[in-house]
């Protein structure tokens, strides 16, 4: 996280997927037009033991600070959003990952598509597939 109180290790060579999410919830949470997320199996990430007391959880459907899935995970001290936790998967924010040996070409976390592009606040003309909702659903043009 921003204050370095929360650290984790990823035990996977690469994410299962990487995408930009334009849903209004991500826009509000990140204060940005979209969220960049890399998806990993939950078993691929482990928080350091010293990080555990600094984790804060938020369950949006009930508006409670609870570790009820799905939930948002943040640092309790600096409030940096860390990841979204689902039943089997985690959506990690690549801009927060520190690499001991960063990939040379930057391709490891390149987003493959845009989801919830129907809620976008800015057109992104990058040639990547755009979906009105979830990936695999209705495709959209880059601009309308």
Distance CA 70, CA 109 (A): 23
pTM, rounded to two decimals: 0.87
Residues 6+ apart with CB under 8 A from 121: 22, 27, 33
Distance CA 6, CA 17 (A): 23
Q: What is the pLDDT of residue 106?
A: 67
Q: What is the pLDDT of residue 98?
A: 82
Contact 132, 138 (CB under 8 A): yes
The CA-based angle 9-10-13, given to 5 degrees, is 145
The secondary element (H helix, E strand) that includes residue 25 is helix 24-30
Q: What is the pLDDT of residue 46?
A: 97
pLDDT per residue, tens digit, the chain (144 aa), is: 899 999 999 999 899 999 999 999 999 988 999 999 999 999 999 999 999 999 999 999 999 999 999 999 999 999 999 999 999 999 999 888 887 777 666 678 899 999 999 999 999 999 999 999 999 999 999 987
The dihedral region occupied by 90, where left means phi > 0, alpha psi between -120 and 50, and beta the remainder, is beta
Distance CA 101, CA 94 (A): 14
What kind of fold does domain 8-140 have according to CATH?
A: glutathione-dependent formaldehyde- activating enzyme (gfa) (3.90.1590)
Q: Where are the domains of the chain?
A: 8-140
């Amino acid at each position: 996280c921003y204050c370095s109180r929360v650290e984790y290790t990823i035990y996977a060579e690469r994410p299962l997927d990487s995408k930009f999410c334009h849903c209004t919830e991500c826009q509000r949470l990140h204060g940005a037009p979209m969220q960049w997320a890399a998806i990993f199996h939950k078993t691929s990430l482990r928080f350091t033991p010293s990080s555990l007391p600094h984790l804060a959880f938020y369950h949006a459907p009930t508006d409670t600070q609870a570790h009820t899935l799905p939930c948002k995970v943040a640092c309790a001290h600096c409030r940096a959003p860390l990841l979204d936790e689902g039943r089997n998967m985690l959506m990690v924010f690549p801009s927060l990952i520190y690499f001991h040996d960063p990939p040379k070409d930057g391709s490891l976390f390149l987003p493959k598509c845009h989801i919830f592009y129907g809620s976008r606040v800015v057109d992104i003309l990058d040639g990547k597939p755009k979906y009105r909702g979830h990936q695999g659903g209705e495709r959209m043009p880059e601009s309308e």
